[in-house]
Structure 1
Amino acid sequence: MTATDYGDRATYRAIGLMSGTSLDGIDIALIETDGVLDVTRGPSRTYGFSTELRGQLEEALEMGKGLAARTERPGDLRAIEAKLTDRHAEIARHFASEIGLALCDVDIVGFHGQTVLHKPNEALTVQLGDGDRLASALGVPVAWDLRARDMESAGQGAPLVPAYHRALAANLPPEFAIRPVAFVNIGGISNITYIDGDEDPIAFDCGPGNALIDQWLQREAGIPFDQNGRIASEGTIIETLADRYLNADFFAKKTPKSLDRFDFPVPDPDDGELSDVARTLCYVTARGIAQAREHLPERPELWIVAGGGRRHPTILSDLADALGDEADVVLAEDCGFDGDAMEAEAWAYLAVRSIRGLPLTFPTTTGCREPVSGGRISKPGTKRD
């Protein structure tokens, strides 16, 4: 299925579905776009996972460590994938009903799925999610498996959002129309996109995001995340622990580069008290983002922060301190965007680029040999091979 299957039109109505490495739920967003610079953002929502499904996804992450092929689904992985896909379908139907949207009026759904393994050095990335099943459940074409072709072209398979960041940068309010600009997403992993004029964006993962803090608190205290930064605010930085993370080879590694959720280990129980370790991990996240400057052509004056980590006051404060007076750190909302919906919007945008055959990734974002489009397009009624 390509753009010609839709007839001659200027824009497409698309839904994006994103489930990130932090396992905090599913983001969904509606946009209308030409897949280039014309973007009209619509409603968005976030829906959490049930305790049961989140637990199954955590099990899937463990099982995923042993996968050797993108389509391999041993043990319970196939059943978990089906359940996850059905949850996406349920959410999409609920979202459409809530905003008064008929799904038959949607041109394409962009479906990320849940990453359970990412090994770019082995050209292997695995996202749970059955696009055929979702297309049949919704009666709408689905673009999915968007990372594979990039890896076939020697790319890292991540990050994919920079193409959308470039479109957003072109639509910034005048007071924020500063170049170069950096978009930072702090999810389970942190990544950065550098945009300067009409050049292809430069992007890469820049270190841990929320995942380490969340895993630490869950394991040591049974708390899923540091709400409002309360726990970290009570702690002090453990310099030796911070140095252990920040001296990792990853930070000096040349770009493009990307991370798996498990590339940075969770601290040991004897590394420090609960709040002190949480405070230290905030510092590590912020410093990792700031160190990304060393891989950029120029130092951005404006840093726009999205993702769940933007809600953590200690991370934001540490980032502002690390960047110093040379840069302004603002939230996505300050620029008229939605920091929760940005990645789901991006997946809708990428779905439109996929059906139009436009590049999703660039040598400057993933290291692919040349700009690469990609994705599988499933029509309703398609059966998985």
Structure 2
Amino acid sequence: MPQVPLKTAVGAISGTSMDGIDVSLVETDGDLAVRPGPGRTYPYAPELRAELLDLLRDPAIAETDPLAGLEARVSDAHADAVLAFLRDFAIDKARVDVVGLHGQTVWHRPEKRFTRQLGDGPRMARRIGLDVVNRFRHADVAAGGEGAPFAPLYHRALAATLPQPVMVLNLGGVGNVTYIDGDTVIAFDTGPASALLDDFVLKRLGKPFDEGGRLAASGAPDAAMVARLMRHPYFDRPAPKSLDRNDFHAWAEAVQSLGDAEGAATLAAFTVASAADALRHVPRAPLRWLVTGGGRLNATFMRLLAERLGVPVDPVEAVGWNGDFIEAQCFGYLAVRSLAGLPLSLPTTTGAPKPMRGGELWKAA
């Protein structure tokens, strides 16, 4: 069988922290051949980030409000980030076949068959002079899928040569896992990851996150409260399933009655318990867990996970991946899959009724 030539793609995404835009390059055939390239984060302008954070006070307006001005500014920020990335790494635009624009998620409600990512594909294609694929999640959600997580097929490609089964745990604002065992790929959101702890530390100490997990490490978790938090009905739902960043905030409000260190320790223990609970939704215990996302830098998360799981728990850098840019690379990879007409999600990763194609192509000219 002739080898499919690799395409060069650039992916761009802003995560739930809304602090900046991750941009990275990947060369891929859209299947199992992947060569990850460099990546860099480009911060949002402070006034744009403030506007995005303000939207979190009432994100449901994204269902009805076109948010035209905000979307234009977010799109231009992504376009500027991609152009800066190409300059910073001396990448000739002629090398790039496609840009995968995920954009900024502002409201995700798959039970209503609705998801909203700010990012105007045609506007960005015109501004950067490259073909753009966006709206990756929409077809999946419209068909009844969860529309998340969307990195599992990229995880499968990255992990193709690793001993399996292996679990990839992404600790972003929300936690999600990808279970990989040959052709078996299962994925779902596990529960809260960094969002609850970040917001708790911001409220108590005015800091954006618990650096290194030091505050959580200095306190003792309230075991009874962790047990109560784990009674949330989400955990009994079968996989695949997904969450919005703020779904657990009201449920965890009782943690505010605790002191700073005890509260942080309790939220860290809750994050780890919810990740470990994922084991009841997969066929076999993984041989190893690989952790990506900002939470891999939280030493308390990593220590507690290793103690709880009893198998190696390592940051993805241990196998040569770059945990800061996997998601950006993923949407470059998915853009190539979209161009090839390959599915972006599976029934076992989002609950869609069949393997779902997706993405919309916007030509530069």
TM-score by length of structure 2 reads 0.95
Give the Cα–Cα distance (whole angstroms) in 1 for the partners of residues 59 and 316 of structure 2: 33
Q: Partner residue of 1:105?
A: 95
Q: Partner residue of 1:180?
A: 165
SS of the residue aligned with 1:62?
Answer: coil
Within the candidate set 331, 334, 338, 2:315 is matched to 331
Give the Cα–Cα distance (whole angstroms) in 2 for the partners of residues 218 and 52 of structure 1: 19
- What amino acid maps onto 1:216 in structure 2? F
- What amino acid maps onto 1:273 in structure 2? G
CA contact (8 A) 2:256 2:263 kept: no
Within the candidate set 5, 13, 16, 1:21 is matched to 16
SS of the residue aligned with 1:298?
Answer: coil
Unmatched runs of 5 consecutive residues or more in structure 1: 1-7, 172-176
Give the Cα–Cα distance (whole angstroms) in 2 for the partners of residues 152 and 78 of structure 1: 22
CA displacement at 1:9 relative to structure 2:
6.2
TM-score by length of structure 1 reads 0.90
SS of the residue aligned with 1:115?
Answer: strand
1:189 pairs with 2:186: no
Within the candidate set 260, 273, 280, 1:294 is matched to 280
Give the Cα–Cα distance (whole angstroms) in 2 for the partners of residues 277 and 65 of structure 1: 29
CA contact (8 A) 2:186 2:348 kept: yes
Give the Cα–Cα distance (whole angstroms) in 2 for the partners of residues 269 and 323 of structure 1: 25
- What amino acid maps onto 2:238 in structure 1? K
SS of the residue aligned with 1:343?
Answer: helix
Could you give the per-residue CA deviations for residues 201-230 of structure 1, whole angstroms, max 9, x where no partner exists? 110000111111111122232211112222
SS of the residue aligned with 1:348?
Answer: helix
CA contact (8 A) 1:241 1:271 kept: no
Give the Cα–Cα distance (whole angstroms) in 2 for the partners of residues 270 and 317 of structure 1: 24
Q: What root-mean-square deviation, in Å, do the aligned CA atoms of Structure 1 and Structure 2 show?
A: 1.6
1:151 pairs with 2:141: yes
Q: Partner residue of 1:3?
A: none
SS of the residue aligned with 2:346?
Answer: coil
CA displacement at 1:61 relative to structure 2:
2.4
Could you give the per-residue CA deviations for residues 52-91 of structure 1, whole angstroms, max 9, x where no partner exists? 222211112233223435xx42xxx322221111111111
Within the candidate set 50, 53, 60, 1:55 is matched to 50
- What amino acid maps onto 2:281 in structure 1? H
1:310 pairs with 2:310: no
65 and 149 in structure 1: CA distance in 2 versus 1, 3 angstrom threshold: same
CA displacement at 1:198 relative to structure 2:
2.4
Within the candidate set 174, 183, 188, 1:204 is matched to 188
Could you give the per-residue CA deviations for residues 285-326 of structure 1, whole angstroms, max 9, x where no partner exists? 1111111000001111111111100000001111111112xx
Q: Partner residue of 1:141?
A: 131
Could you give the per-residue CA deviations for residues 128-163 of structure 1, whole angstroms, max 9, x where no partner exists? 111111111110111111001011221111111001
Unmatched runs of 5 consecutive residues or more in structure 2: none
Within the candidate set 263, 274, 277, 2:263 is matched to 277
SS of the residue aligned with 2:61?
Answer: coil
Q: Partner residue of 2:39?
A: 44
Q: How does 1:73-88 map to 2 (within 5 A)?
A: 73=66, 77-88=67-78
10 and 92 in structure 1: CA distance in 2 versus 1, 3 angstrom threshold: same
How many residues align? The count is 361
SS of the residue aligned with 1:66?
Answer: helix
- What amino acid maps onto 1:352 in structure 2? V
CA contact (8 A) 1:307 1:339 kept: yes
